[in-house]
Amino acid sequence: MRMKDENKKAAITKAIIGLINEIGFANISMSKIAKATGLSAATLYVYYENKEDMFRKVYLDVKKQMIEECGKNLCLQENVQEAVRKLCKNLLRYMKEYTDEFLFIEQACNSPMATDEMIKELEQYNQNTIKIFQRGVQEGILKQTSPALLISFCYYPIQQIFKEWRKEKSMLPDVDFEVVFQMCWDAINVKKRHPSVLSF
């Protein structure tokens, strides 16, 4: 049995991500990956059983990396707003530093090969993020809804703005992160109402 080489695996993963971003999942094949990496198909089968196994392993590895990067320097006990700001800022940094991986995830999430089982498996790696939003709800800081929905209202606008900025930088020049974050925060936090001042 041939031994797996982690450096070779990383190179294969990078080639797979680049190829999928270029031609899409539907057009990918083990032979095309072999050609892109300069390796034999036999070598690829040391790492992946088939195309479906390849998708599952690469998707899970890249998604775990994204979750880890977004959760960097996160403290579960810190102020909820500051924790959410940190998560959002880390997401933006991830998209800028790992653009190919982010675009791959975007495609993967819309693929029928991304099963509910795979999504559920990823939940265990995202527990710290979920706990931050759960605490925000419990403390009455965030709106009374599911953490998943709150996370979506933070992450999706930032992702969309990044994609638009990447396509046409002149349309969104030097977007101020704090402005974007404040808009996301306004969408999920509970507005404190000040008592009306009556004048006679």
User: How far, in Å, CA of 62 to CA of 75, rounded?
Assistant: 23
pLDDT at 30 over 70: yes
Please, what CATH class does the domain formed by 61-188 belong to? mainly alpha
DSSP string of 15-62, one letter each residue: HHHHHHHHH-GGG--HHHHHHHHT--HHHHHHH-SSHHHHHHHHHHHH
Domain locations along the chain: 1-48, 61-188
User: How far, in Å, CA of 40 to CA of 31, rounded?
Assistant: 8
User: How far, in Å, CA of 2 to CA of 92, rounded?
Assistant: 39
Report the CATH fold assignment for 1-48.
Arc Repressor Mutant, subunit A (1.10.10)
The residue-averaged pLDDT of 74-83 equals 93
User: How far, in Å, CA of 152 to CA of 129, rounded?
Assistant: 12
More confident residue, 119 or 21: 21
The residue-averaged pLDDT of 57-78 equals 92
Structure pTM?
0.84
